Amino acid sequence: MTVQPAMPMSWRRETKPHKFCPGCGHGLVLKVLGQAVDELNIQDKMVFGCDIGCSLLAWDFFNVDSIQTHHGRTTPVITGMKRANPNLIGVAYMGDGGGYAIGSQHLVSAATRNEKITVILVNNTQYGMTGGQMAPTTLPGQKTETSPYGRDVSKTGNPTLGPEMVNAITGEGAYVARGTVSKVNKLKEYIKKALENQINGNGFSFVEVLSACPTNWRTNAEKTWKFLEEEMAEYFKVGEFKVPGSREEEGQSNG
Ligand SMILES: Cc1ncc(C[n+]2csc(CCOP(=O)(O)OP(=O)(O)O)c2C)c(N)n1
Ligand code: SF4
Ligand SMILES: [Mg+2]
């Protein structure tokens, strides 16, 4: 009989390479999420839900319980787990296509009910996993696989402003912010606050993250950063929109 060696004490700190394309923003978002979870010491109570899309590549990234669902359904699945066991810390992680298009009703319902979960939504302005189709967040004039002449907002409407919407429909105790992978320290602060808000038993916590998809944007490092920091950040304002116990809770963004 083979005797298995005891699990090393350092197992919590083990790392492994991620599966995203070079330059993808998902890895940065997940890195700061992991750091926040470590710092708050919630690994043993956390359930990580990822969606369909490139977010699902993170299903075995963390040493926590995890579940994968389709298009925004991660939000109601994590809601159900949290309601069944309020001691859990439930994190729903998804893309902009899943969260704002096919599964948008789930985000609206959970935010309206002020469910005590944390949703992290990665906005890379298109459907990454399936090859770069137009999403609700595609910028005006932006070329994608399904908007080869550039997004025509007169026909498709304006890009979705998720945190602004969530801010408008959530009640007291919600935390709402938009961060960017180009400012990871600030992003970590927002994600940590979103987790702390859940730990404190307040309301719905929502962080949208501006992220890069150089593969489908077909951009080099310089153009990727320029698009992220200039064009995306110009339309999607980074900052906190609602912080429990502060003036932002009354609907004022600090942009
Ligand atoms: C009902 C259904 N429709 C379409 C698909 C195909 N599909 C898989 S991932 C995806 C896009 C996901 O995009 P997003 O949520 O923005 O995540 P990203 O890959 O950009 O991180 C689509 C359309 C599917 N799996 N199920
Ligand atoms: S397709 Fe885009 S979002 Fe998906 S892993 Fe590659 S760079 Fe990241
Ligand atoms: Mg996307």
* pLDDT tens track for 224-242: 999 999 999 999 999 999 9
Query: What CATH number is given to the structural domain containing 175?
Result: 3.40.50.970
Cβ neighbours for 107, distance < 8 A, ≥ 6 positions apart: 72, 75, 99, 100, 119, 121, 162, 166
Read off the pLDDT of residues 135-193 as tens digits, 9 standing for 90 and up.
999 999 999 999 999 999 999 999 999 999 999 999 999 999 999 999 999 999 999 99
**Residue 209 Cα to ligand 3 middle (Å):** 11
On whether residue 146 sits in a domain, the answer given is yes
At 3 the three-state DSSP class reads coil
Structural domain including 137 reads: 19-244
* Residues 195 and 175: beta-carbon distance below 8 Å: no
On whether residue 7 sits in a domain, the answer given is no
Ligand 1 atom closest to the Cα of residue 129 is: 19
On whether residue 251 sits in a domain, the answer given is no
Average pLDDT, the chain: 92
**Residue 152 Cα to ligand 3 middle (Å):** 19
Mean pLDDT, to the nearest integer, of 201-224? 98
Q: How many domains does the chain have?
A: 1
On whether residue 47 sits in a domain, the answer given is yes
> Which one of 96, 102, 124, 130 would you pick to mutate in the ligand 1 pocket, going by the greatest count of ligand atoms within 8 A of its CB?
130
DSSP 59: T
- Ligand 1 neighbourhood includes 142 CB (under 6 angstroms): no
On whether residue 216 sits in a domain, the answer given is yes
SS (H, E, C) 73-108: CHHHHHHHHHHHCCCCEEEEEEEHHHHHHHCHHHHH
- Ligand 1 neighbourhood includes 131 CB (under 6 angstroms): no
- Name the region of 141 (left: φ>0; alpha: ψ -120 to 50; beta: rest): left
On whether residue 252 sits in a domain, the answer given is no
On whether residue 255 sits in a domain, the answer given is no
At 225 the three-state DSSP class reads helix
Read off the pLDDT of residues 20-39 as tens digits, 9 standing for 90 and up.
999 999 999 999 999 999 99
pTM: 0.93
On whether residue 217 sits in a domain, the answer given is yes
Written as six digits, the tokens of 98 are 């899943």
> Which one of 71, 105, 107, 123 would you pick to mutate in the ligand 1 pocket, going by the greatest count of ligand atoms within 8 A of its CB?
71
Q: Cα–Cα distance between 48 and 4 in angstroms, integer?
A: 28
Residue 41 confidence class, pLDDT cut points 50, 70, 90: very high
Instruction: Please give the pLDDT value at position 245.
Output: 83
